Amino acid sequence: MRKFCLDCTIKHLGQAYVLHGEVEQGYPEHILGVIGHLAEASEECIGASKELADKIRQYRLIIHENLDMIVKGEEIVDIPYFELFNATMEVMREKGCGSCQKAKKSFKDRLKQSKKENEEAQ
């Protein structure tokens, strides 16, 4: 099973949210980005919560079902992005962030080391 990264899930949900706003502002071509980011958000969390991944996928499929009308500007699909964000945060509290956790720790360690070296240089 694919390793999960809930930070990446949140990132993709956020990007889908922003692009969805662009669609609502009259730029229907951004719907492709919404679809792509929802697909990525679902993939990033499937290893942590199949239920959450399926919920995100269902919203993506609703967009697919209404794609022609969305592109024509005749339909706007409401996606509960903040509900999905809160659900992702709940899974993160239970299971941790996922595969990026190690990278974040090493970045924090590098940052601390850099600060220490700067202090010693002064």
Tell me what pLDDT residue 106 has: 54
Tell me what pLDDT residue 22 has: 94
In a domain? residue 93: yes
Q: What is the mean pLDDT of residues 19-29?
A: 93
How many domains does the chain contain in total? Answer: 1
In a domain? residue 1: no
Tell me what pLDDT residue 51 has: 97
pLDDT in tens, 82-106: 999 999 999 988 888 776 554 455 5
Which residues, in sequence order, are CB contacts of 10 under 8 Å at separation 6+? 85, 88, 89
Q: Distance between CA 73 and CA 85 in Å, rounded?
A: 26
pLDDT in tens, 51-60: 999 999 999 9
* Separation in Å, CA 56 to CA 33, 59, 67, 73: 15, 5, 17, 23
pLDDT for residue 2 is more than 70? no
pLDDT for residue 18 is more than 90? yes
pTM for the full model? 0.78
Q: What is the DSSP string of 63-106?
A: HHHTHHHHHTTS------HHHHHHHHHHHHHHH-SBTTHHHHHH
Tell me what pLDDT residue 100 has: 58
Residue with tokens 């850099």: 114
Secondary-structure percent of the chain, ordered helix, strand, coil, rounded to 5: 75, 0, 20
Tell me what pLDDT residue 4 has: 85
pLDDT for residue 117 is more than 90? no
Length, in residues, of the chain: 122
Structure tokens at 73: 């500007």
Whole domain around residue 44: which residue ranges? 6-121
